[in-house]
Each structure stands twice: as C-alpha cells, then as structure tokens.
Amino acid sequence: MSGSDLPRTPAVLMKGIVKRFPGVTANRGVDFRILKGEIHSLLGENGAGKTTLMNVLSGFYQPDEGEMFVNGQKVSFRSPRDALDHGIGMIHQHFQLVRNFTVAENIILGVPGPWTLNMDNVEKSVDEISNRYGLAIDSRAHIWELSVGEQQRVEILRMLFRKVNILIMDEPTSVLAPQEIESLFETMRKIKNEGRSVVFITHKLEEVLEISDYITVLRRGKVMSTVRPEKVRERDGTVSTELARMMVGREVILEVGKQPMKTNRVLLKVDNVSVMGDRGELAVKGISFTVRKGEIFAILGVAGNGQRELVEAIVCLRQKQGGQILLAEKDISACLDSIAYIPEDRTGLGSVPDMPLMENVALTNRARFSKGPLVNWKAVREKALGLIQEYNIAAPSLEMKARQLSGGNLQKLILAREFTQDPLLLVAEQPTRGLDIGATEEVWQSLLRQREKGAILLVSGDMKEVLSLADNILVMFRGQAMDIISGEDEKGIERIGPLMAGLR
C-alpha cells in the first residue's frame, strides 16, 4: 500500500533495484521513493538490505538491475561523488572521518574548489551551518577529541555543507544516548522543514513512530510495505505488532522468562580498576564491582565511555593502570583458562573469516583439542558438528569459510565455541548487535542457560537487552561507574537513561 496523496514528483524514485553479492542477493527488485521534505524511515532486520539499498542510492554500489530517477531524471551513479553532485549524501554507521584532522578540515575534504584553501572562511561557514541546525561543535577541534555523538554531528555538517537534498543516515541512533537522540531528531526536523529529505535507516520501532512521515519495511531484500506511522500505532502510542510482524514475518516475543538470581559466592571482583585508552587518556577511572556465580552483570553505556577498555583489561588483552581484578580470589591473569570472551567484533576479533568453520571452532579451543604439539582435528570435527546441531547453526558444511556465514549464525558459532570451554566467567560484548530478532532470542536463551554454570559479564548499549537479561546493571559514563542498579528495581531503571547521559 503506497501513499495515494502524491501529485508531486518524488525527489528520488528507485525502481526494481537488484543488487547481488557473492553468496547473497541483498536487494531483490526494490521499489522505493522519497518525497521532498519528508523523513522516510527504512526499517528492517539486519540483513534485510536497507544499507545496501541506500549504498546503491548514494553511489557506493552500482545496482545489477533497476533504474533510479532524481527529480524525474534518470540517473546512474558511478561513485559517491556522482550521487553528491545530484544532492544525495549518506552517513555510514562507521564514520568516515580523518581522526587527525580538525572538524573544518574534514568538512572541506574532497569538496571540489580552487586549489587555494582559506580555512578561516571554511570554519566560518561551518560555524554558521552548525548554528542554524543546532549542531553544537567547535570547528577547530580535532576529530579524536570528539565523542561519537559529536563525530556524528560532523558527518551531518559535512553533508549540509555539501548542500545535499537527500540525507541518508544509517542507524544514526545506535551510538547515541537518549538525550542525544532527541537532539538528532530535532536536527532532522529542521532539515525536513527546509524541504529537504532524510532517509533514516533503523531497526528500532519506537524511534520510527516518533520521527517518520513514511515507513518502508524491508524484509529479505524486498519491500514488505510502505505505510504512514499512524497506521501502525496503537491507541496507547506503542508500536503495533503489525509492524514487527512485517519485519520478521512472524510474531515476536521478547519475553525471555528469566529466573530470579540465587545468592551465591562472589566470582569476579573488580576493585578500583583504571585503564588507559588507545590515545593514552584514562578511559576507565577507578571502577569497582563484584559479580556472583549465577549472575548476569551488565555494563551499560553509550559506546565509547570506557566499556571496551574495561572489558579488555578484564580479559587481559589490555594492561590496567591500577586496581585489582580477581576471579575466584586469584588474580585474573592466572585464570585465563576460566574466562571466555565473546567480542563485539565478530569478524575482526572473534573469528578468522577466511578459515573454515572447523578451524574457527578450534581457535580458542586449540589447547583442549591437542595432544602434545598435535591438534586432534577429528575431535574438533566431531565437536563442531555437535555444536552446529545443538545451537541450530545454519551451516551446510564445516569446510565453508566463516565469512560465508550470516552474522547471526557466526555469532551463534562463537557463542557455542566459548560455552564449550565451561568458563567460570563469560564476558559477552554486544552479543546481539546487528542480529535479527530470531537470532537475538536464541543468543539470549543461550546466555541464560550459561548463567546457571558461572557468571556472565554482559556489556551492551542496548537497554532492552540489559533489562531482559541482567540481574545488576552498572551504568558507565566517561570511564566512571555512575551507579549500580538492580534489575528488579523499577525506580532505579527509570534513572538509567539520565545516568547514561552523565546526569546523576
């Protein structure tokens, strides 16, 4: 059902877009249109083809089939620059900024112009644009000095500086605290009121209702529906199950049925730990907490507030500056065999994409499957086949490369592998990031099962995940523990949002 109220020429019209990649077809004949002056949400589970579609529109990819029209004119983009020339710009999930450059230098980067450069003028016009759209930022600051939210503002400024008419944002809210999201939405509305359009890629249903004029739901590379938000809002303002069903094609239940925690002995004791970040700044400033056996302890915060550094210190991949980390009353560096770590970066850290699944199963388990200097590949094979069955991993053979698995299946494989180590402490970092709802549920269930056997340290930026799973929640902001809140404490939970933004 598409809107019937359009006498206007759409700003962008995409017809029958097909885009194939080795092993997958990301878009299977997608029709999509963007009107002038609208915020159009592109909703779908991970892997639904949202980002691919927008990469096609912004010239990063060339479609295998299909046509595109900008203001009624047929176009074909060979590069992002072509798209920018037609007023289409995209902000990726991973920002494309030069860390050692200033804000203004990043904004002028790649802008065609005379061969002389007057940075004063650039800075002046950057300041002007940032005032107009409420994007507070110091144009002389270096990128590495900025928080993730500020870096996002630089990306937006860069697009506005280029005078784009279609601004595409790929999951912009996933890195932001609630307050920052509000101000991002404010900026989006200002852009819209000038008659420009914003494409908002997300898989968060609530945000979609709040901001969009139109919602297009993609599923498995096809458009399921394009609707007005009113049509999918319940009377009480919540999202209708209709929308979720469009996304996943079935009823989604996000209740995980967690048993209350029993009081057990303390397994992990983190005492006044400080850790340096990559740039030599103090990223973790004297954090203390304890995790008991049978507990899921969550560290919640907006990305970049020291969680990664803290986790790396706990799993001994980074040196700590001060404090003590004890596992079962021994220094943690002596108990590496009792820790399993599920890293956020599944393909960069948690697996070797170009190696077969079997070797990926052996990756952290190789000592367990070795006799002397030899690896017992037969035992690895049996174990791997067992895991694939037990964890419902869609993998046709053990010889296939890890990179051929979808994100969800790879994550289940890593999870399964780490569980086989029978760890006292399992550290799970953003374990469901980018997974679809089905895979997320399976991962959560696996974590809850593991909880019976040891302690789990869950690091997440996803409030829903934390509230569904955690017994206790530590909110981290700028390297400090704002507070530790019990998962049962209703009043405490309301404070989490402000705490994440640094307000006590």
Residues that bind another protein (CB under 8 A): 20-23, 74-76, 317, 336, 341, 343, 345, 348-355, 359, 362-364, 366-367, 370, 373-375, 377
Query: Which whole-number Å values give the CA distances from 195 to 83, 129, 132, 164, 191, in the listed order?
Result: 19, 16, 15, 11, 7
CB-nearer residue toward another protein: 370 or 480: 370
CB-nearer residue toward another protein: 43 or 311: 311
- Nearest residue to 152 via CA among 124, 118, 176, 119: 176
CB-nearer residue toward another protein: 64 or 145: 64
The Cα diameter of the chain in Å comes to 75
- Tell the smallest beta-carbon distance from residue 355 to another protein (Å): 6
CB-nearer residue toward another protein: 333 or 392: 333
- Tell the smallest beta-carbon distance from residue 25 to another protein (Å): 9
Residue 391, SS3? coil
Q: Are 37 and 192 in contact (CB under 8 A)?
A: yes
CA–CA dist 87, 70 (Å, integer): 9
CA–CA dist 88, 167 (Å, integer): 6
Q: Are 361 and 380 in contact (CB under 8 A)?
A: yes
- Tell the smallest beta-carbon distance from residue 326 to another protein (Å): 20
CB-nearer residue toward another protein: 180 or 429: 429
Q: What are phi and psi of 36, to 5 degrees?
A: -70, 140
CB-nearer residue toward another protein: 367 or 394: 367
CB-nearer residue toward another protein: 215 or 413: 413
- Tell the smallest beta-carbon distance from residue 500 to another protein (Å): 28
- Tell the smallest beta-carbon distance from residue 269 to another protein (Å): 22
Which residue's entry shows tokens 């017992």? 376
- Helix (H) or strand (E) holding 432, with range, is none
- Tell the smallest beta-carbon distance from residue 78 to another protein (Å): 9
- Tell the smallest beta-carbon distance from residue 223 to another protein (Å): 23
CA–CA dist 376, 366 (Å, integer): 9
Residue 160: HSE in the Cβ half-sphere, 13 Å Cα cutoff: 25
